[in-house]
Chains A and B, each alone.
Chain A
Amino acid sequence: MRYWNSVWKMGGILLLAYVIVRGFGTPLQPGLVEANPSRLKPGLADLELKAVGQPFAEENAPIEGHQLILKSDQDLIATNLTRISPHSVQASVVIPDLLPSPALDAFLFTPSSGTLFLGNAFFVEGAGTGPVPQAFAATPPAEVDPNLGFSFPYQPNIIESIRNLLWHVPMWFAMFFVMGIGFVASLMQLRTDKADWDHRSEAAVRTGLVFGILGLITGSLWARWTWGAWWVSDPQLNGALVTVLLYTGYLLLRAAMGEDERVGRITAVYNVFAFVMLVILLMVLPRYTESLHPGKDGNPGFNSYDLDNSLRAVFYPAVIGWGALCYWMYTLRLRMNRLEYRLLNE
């Protein structure tokens, strides 16, 4: 029990070190990112497909084993599949005059990396609507279940930035965690009027604010990568901004009250109000409006990220690690508050 205090702190730091090494060191599963040209006309067309994760590396994949199929309800088969580099291939395909729909999805069957998929890869202009003539029909090869080892799942648009999941999300969790501590402390402060509860809630809000701001920064970086803008108007993002501003208001209120002996009570009232607003704004309202942000639409989790086992093995340590770091910061601030109080009042 005597050493427990050192153990959890060191443990948190070690977990975070593991998260950093694993988070940045784990390779991404291969996936298709772009098709070129993306607009096609009926007739013979030359295509190029680009991928991340080196699925066409020479040592693991002879190109003859690959087969490219374009789908628009029915399958079109591509020929002359040639490898250009570890992450790009060329092929040619004959586009018929009739297609069930003008949008074509690309399916690339590889023996080493499984099926690579790019939705709406091509758009055909000038083709009529109708079933594809028999001559074009193709049968896709049997799918292989590749053994990709320890790797993070490929998500279109997100791609490598999926590593941010280990920073952004646990930071918000950590903020919720300490803000919750602050909320309970403020409730207790209102019940008992003891200064110690006030020290707790002040420390909690201060620490939570640090993590909230970090969460905003990591979120903004992620938004720039995936949505193309540093900030978009979205219920979840607005709620996050309001939360950070609200708790900044808490510290301002505290500063404005100065030495007033009612500071504990008044700020506790404000803190309870702020936390209830936080729950309404971040957890209730975004679920009932459409949002770009994943994990919404009435769904509390984030399974749109397909948290697979590899990601889980890093994500859960990240949650615990960031939580421990956050709690450690909170205890430091709390002890500072207590010492200051004792120095001034004894």
Chain B
Amino acid sequence: MNTLMNHILFLNNLEGFFFGSGKAHVVTGVSLIILAGIAFSMWRMDRRLTQLENEKNDTPS
């Protein structure tokens, strides 16, 4: 475990593990894109449901 950790941590001695290599920004970016995707699809679903509910309420069977 220690070897693995060191391998990752000190892969590039001059850069910090997390920030120097710019990986954190990639992870942040990908996470934000996924979040936006989820939010968008849920928003669309929400609107469609509202539409269907309104249709159902307008035409009583």
Contacts and interface: CB of A to CB of B under 8 A. Distances in A.
**Does B bind A?**
yes
B53 A339 contact: yes
A332 interface: yes
B27 A24 contact: yes
Interface in B22-61: 24-25, 27-28, 31-32, 35, 38-39, 42-43, 45-46, 49, 52-53, 56, 61
A85 B10 CA distance: 11
Contact of A33 (B5, B43, B46): B5
A98 B45 CA distance: 73
Contacts, number: 68
Contact of B46 (A9, A27, A53, A339): A9
Given A85-B14, A328-B42, A339 B31 contact: no
Given A24-B27, A24-B28, A329-B42, A335 B6 contact: no
Contacts of B39: 13
Interface residues of B, number: 30
Contact of A25 (B14, B28, B53, B61): B28
A306 B9 CA distance: 23
Q: Chain A interface: which size bin?
A: 20 to 34
Contact of B6 (A34, A85, A160): A34
13 contacts: A9-B43, A17-B35, A21-B28, A27-B18, A27-B19, A28-B18, A34-B2, A34-B6, A53-B16, A85-B13, A332-B45, A332-B46, A335-B53
Interface of B: 1-2, 5-6, 9-10, 13-14, 16-19, 24-25, 27-28, 31-32, 35, 38-39, 42-43, 45-46, 49, 52-53, 56, 61
B57 to A, nearest CB: 10
The A interface is mostly helix, strand or loop, or mixed, namely: helix
A120 to B, nearest CB: 13
Contacts of A280: none
A144 B48 CA distance: 59
A52 interface: yes
Interface of A: 9, 13, 16-17, 20-21, 24-25, 27-28, 33-34, 50, 52-54, 85-88, 159-160, 228, 325, 328-329, 332, 335-336, 339, 342-343, 346
B31 A24 contact: yes
B9 A33 contact: yes
Given A16-B35, A24-B24, A339 B56 contact: yes
B61 A346 contact: yes
Contacts of A86: 14, 16
Contact of A54 (B16, B24, B52, B53): B16
Contacts of B42: 9, 328-329, 332
Nearest to A33: B9
A128 to B, nearest CB: 29
A257 B41 CA distance: 31
Nearest to B23: A24
Given A17-B35, A24-B24, A332-B49, 16 more contacts: A9-B46, A16-B35, A17-B32, A20-B32, A24-B27, A25-B24, A28-B18, A33-B6, A50-B6, A50-B10, A52-B9, A85-B14, A159-B9, A329-B42, A339-B49, A346-B61
B49 to A, nearest CB: 5
A329 B16 CA distance: 38
A34 B10 CA distance: 11
A164 B32 CA distance: 16
Contacts of A160: 17-18
